[in-house]
Amino acid sequence: MSDFRGTALAALRTEIAALEAAGRGRAGVLPFGDPAIDGRLPGGGLPLGCWHELCGAGLETEAGAAPAAFAALMAAPLAARGEAVWVFRRDDLFAPGLTGLGFPAERLIQVCARDEAEALAVMEDALSAVGVAAVIGEVEAVDLTAGRRLQLACERRGGAGFLIHRRPFGGAARRATAGSAAATRWRVASAPSAPPANEFGLGAPRFEVELERCRGGRTGAFLIEAGAAYSWEARHGPHPLRLVADLGDRHLAPAESDRRAA
Amino acid sequence: MSATAKPADKGGSPTALPPSTRAHAARRATSPVSGEASPPPFALVAAERGTRRLTAVSLEAARLGLYRGQKATDAFALVPELATAEAEPEADAQALLALVDWCVRFSPAVAADPPDGLYLDITGVDHLWGGEAELVSDIRARLSAAGIFARLALADTPAAAWGLARYGRDGAIAAPGAQGEALADLPPAALKLDFETAAQIERLGFRRLSQLFALPRGPFAKRFGQTTLMRIDQALGRTGEALAFRRPPTPWIARLAFAEPISTPEDLARVAFDAAARLCARLEEAGKGARRFELFFHRLDGKSPSVAAGLALPGRDADRIARLLAPKIETVDPGFGIEVVTIAAYEVETLSGRQVKLEGAAQPSVEDGLSPLIDRLVNRLGEDRVWRAAPVESHVPELSITRAAPLAPAGAAWTWDPEAPRPVRLFRRPEPLEAVIALTPDDPPNQFRWRGRLHRVRRAEGPERIGEEWWKRAIEDVSVGHVRDYYRVEDAEGARFWVFRAGLYDAGEPAKWWLHGVFG
């Protein structure tokens, strides 16, 4: 009986997925390698052929270091397949730092755009180019039209886009737009590292990551560690990110109650 | 007056020099108006070591016996009605440069020969006019239409062309390899010698260059100097002469002339493609590709705005080049119309044809994907805005990285050490930290204030001492105090920073702390 129910659900899901894809073939997924995360994402992994939003929390909206590091870690397996392009307006990305995290910085093309519109245009152009596997862009905000254009560009070649929301230094925060064409939205903050007992210094970088929005999947919150960072093994593992703890319940429950109270 | 030049490629001698032309832009504002019955004699005057001398004289003044270099007082005594104006050498130089730019319509390789001449290297372009004589007459017609009185000459070598233009028959064209005969009857001054040398040679009875050519070289060099001998060799094409071309000379040029001037943006875009197609056909025939293309629009009023596009890899695809040029063409002001378009290719390299891969494109080739993308980005944003980070062997963080061309082959096997933690964001200028509490000399800070926020340090790692590159500096600038002690610190919320203390510990002075980067 339960087997029949499972089959029927799977069939329905496939049907819905086909409707959502509107006739376009899916570009595949990039699994994190942990069922706790992959289970919440549609298709069992980070979907390719679409773009993902990353936001920082607090101070991170200006410096954008944690989202940048997390985006590089997510895109690292893609960058091993093709070229990666990083588009920004402030040139403070430091390639040796990416190398330490396990991102192949020698495959990274950096583009410094003059303004927001140009940054989005460059992202779009790079996403639709052959041989570009991942495009990471730092912009302040993206409206629905621009987001839709990015989505179409992603579908053309099956590349993945990562869009980091980054506020310009000293500028006033712009109100986040309500809707978005992104497949997922992640809020990334640094988390205290936990080195092994009796060891000095810092442990492997940890991130507190909230999957705020996920098309065709479920939201969640995770504590994720870049386990092999700052070692020669950094770029040889199957995926540089490792799930430490699933924070789903602890984080989402209060948020729900807050909303109800308001 | 002006010029000379003749293509070397016809002369048979491959070492023969590029042809040249010389043109003198008369100053139109002050030159006599040609409609008047008899214009007054006219001269330009400049003070030279306290004496006012004539620096240029009009035809009428020359007919009255005035000459260049004469004292102004003498000239006024001879010709009381002489009209004069102050010489403006800077304005002359500018006018000459403008003329050089204008001459690009004839050939991309134009060199100014201050104060009053220019060389035009017409190697490989004379056929566009149907021959050398036609080219010279076209140059003359256009110059006189612009009100510029010029003397032209054409020869295998710049030196021969120079001499012919100034001392020979106007419009002289020396046959290929025959510059010796063409120069034979000219005075020694036609070699562009300084005044004393030329005067001395004449004083010794050598009135014609043919007499000089016949002298044995050894005694000649001893008597008149190596320079004179070199000028003879340059004139006869035995040795090269370096010209400072305003643009790099290239034989890869194509030209389109129109019966009616064009000006609409659509027409400009179309002719850009046509010109590019013409040039690319030639490139393909020769098995070459170029990295840079420059398109000149020659307007009716003599100005010639240009647009350029670069390729990351050498190419010859007219369609692609036209598409790269298209957005820039929109900014070109066509003025009253454009009558000629020229396109020049630079950095031409051998480019073999590509073989189409049979097996599926698992790894797309650079030519297909990345190279067109890089071209689009570089042409839209500028060359300095697209790069690939390349490692530099330096332990100073801000010096350990350089920008390489996006498609440059990966060079050194050396790369950054992943075991030395470096931040993802590195600030160009380290930012000062306030309210730092740290145990000196060797402890990391316990707390600090950065951008108005107080951070309490929970964990820290360090110090990593990084000193200056003393071997690159003068010894007096080097100091043991130029060190930074870097710490990787993590605050209570988990944010990781790269902070450093500048200088060595000094009990008398509070330590200076800086934040250099953020790990995230």
Which chain A residue has the Cα nearest residue B385?
A112
Q: pTM surpassing 0.80?
A: no
Domain-located, residue B379 = no
User: What total of structural domains would you count in chain B?
Assistant: 4
Same domain, B340 and B472: no
Is residue B418, in this structure, part of any structural domain at all? no
Residue B20 lies in a domain: yes
CB contact under 8 A, B386 and A111: yes
Confidence (pLDDT) at B35: 41
* d(C-alpha B18, C-alpha B7), whole Å: 6
pLDDT digits (tens, 9 = 90+) for B416-455: 888 889 999 999 999 999 888 888 677 889 999 988 889 9
**Whether residue B167 sits in one domain with residue B18:** yes
Confidence tier at A59 by pLDDT (50, 70, 90): low
Q: List the CATH number of the domain containing B81.
A: 3.40.1170.60
Q: Kindly state whether residue B384 falls inside one of the protein's structural domains.
A: no
User: Judged by CB atoms within 8 Å, which residues 20-79 of A form the interface with B?
Assistant: 58-60, 62-70, 72
Contacts of A227 in chain B (CB under 8 A): none
The pLDDT, as a whole number, for residue A1 is 52
Q: Do A64 and B370 touch (CB under 8 A)?
A: no
Q: Give tens-digit pLDDT for B370-384.
A: 888 888 898 888 889
Mean pLDDT (chain B, rounded): 82
Percentage of residues in chain A having pLDDT higher than 90 = 31
Q: Would the pLDDT of A73 be above 90?
A: yes
Total of domains in chain A: 1
Comparing CB atoms, the residue among B385, B421, B494 nearest residue A100 is B421
Q: What pLDDT score was predicted for residue B504? A: 82
- Which pLDDT does position B514 carry in this prediction? 93
Range of the domain at B509: 425-518
Stretch (H or E) spanning A172? none
**Mind listing the pLDDT tens digit for each residue in B214-232?**
888 888 888 888 888 899 9
ipTM of the complex: 0.85
Calculate the CA B210 to chain-centre distance: 38
Instruction: Output B30 or B218, whichever has higher pLDDT.
Output: B218
Provide the CATH number for the domain around residue A156.
Answer: 3.40.50.300
Q: What percent of chain A has pLDDT over 70?
A: 85
B158 and B12 in a common domain: yes
Please give the Cα distance from B135 to B343 (Å, whole number): 18
Is B500 within a domain? yes
Percent of chain B with pLDDT over 70: 88
Which pLDDT does position A60 carry in this prediction?
64
Strand A132-139 with A83-88, pairing = parallel
Give contacts of A 101-120 with B, CB under 8 A.
101-102, 105-106, 108-114, 118
pLDDT digits (tens, 9 = 90+) for B470-499: 888 888 888 877 889 999 999 998 899 999
CA distance A259 to chain B (A): 25
Chain B touched by A158 (CB under 8 Å): no
C-beta atoms of A96 and B459 within 8 A: no
- Strand residues in A15-64 grouped as ranges (E): 29-30, 46-47, 51-56
Inter-chain touch B424–A94, beta carbons under 8 Å: yes
The pLDDT-based confidence of B34 (bands split at 50, 70, 90) is very low
CATH code assigned at B314: 3.30.1490.100
Count CB atoms within 10 A of the CB of residue A3.
Answer: 7
Instruction: Establish if B14 belongs to a structural domain.
Output: yes
Name which of B3-12, B188-197, B404-413, B479-488 the model is least confident about: B3-12
Chain B positions in Cβ-Cβ contact with residue A113 (cut-off 8 Å): 381, 385
Q: How far is B453 from chain A (nearest CA, A)?
A: 9
Which is more confident, A113 or B302? A113
The Cα of B188 is separated from the nearest Cα of chain A by a number of Å equal to 60
Residues 6+ apart with CB under 8 A from B513: B432, B433, B436, B438, B445, B448, B499, B500, B501, B502
On the CB side of A59, CA atoms within 13 Å amount to 17
For B410, the token pair is 């990966």
Could you tell me the residue range of the domain that residue A57 belongs to?
Answer: 27-261
Cβ-based contacts of A99 with chain B (< 8 Å) = 415-416, 418, 422
Q: Which segment of A186-190, B5-9, B49-53, B91-95 scores lowest on mean pLDDT? A: B5-9
Please check whether residues B99 and B82 belong to one and the same domain: no
A101: left (phi over 0), alpha (psi -120 to 50) or beta: alpha
Domain end point (choices B191, B207, B236): B236
User: Within a domain: residue B433?
Assistant: yes
**Model pLDDT for residues A216-233, shown as the tens digit of each residue:** 888 899 999 998 888 887
pLDDT(B9) > 50: no
Residues B241-277 have pLDDT tens digits of: 888 888 777 788 888 888 889 988 889 999 999 999 9
B290 neighbors B308 (Cβ within 8 angstroms): no
* Shared domain check, B432 and B335: no
| Bridge partners for B437 per DSSP | B447
d(CA B330, CA B266): 9
For residue B225, tell me if it sits in a domain.
yes
pLDDT band at A179 (very low <50, low <70, confident <90, very high): low
- Please report, for residues A48, A149, B505, the alpha-carbon distance to residue A78 in angstroms, rounded to integers and kept in the order given: 10, 22, 46
Residues B141 and B16 both lie in one domain:
yes
Question: Are B209 and B300 part of one and the same domain?
Answer: no
- Output B368 or A135, whichever has higher pLDDT: A135
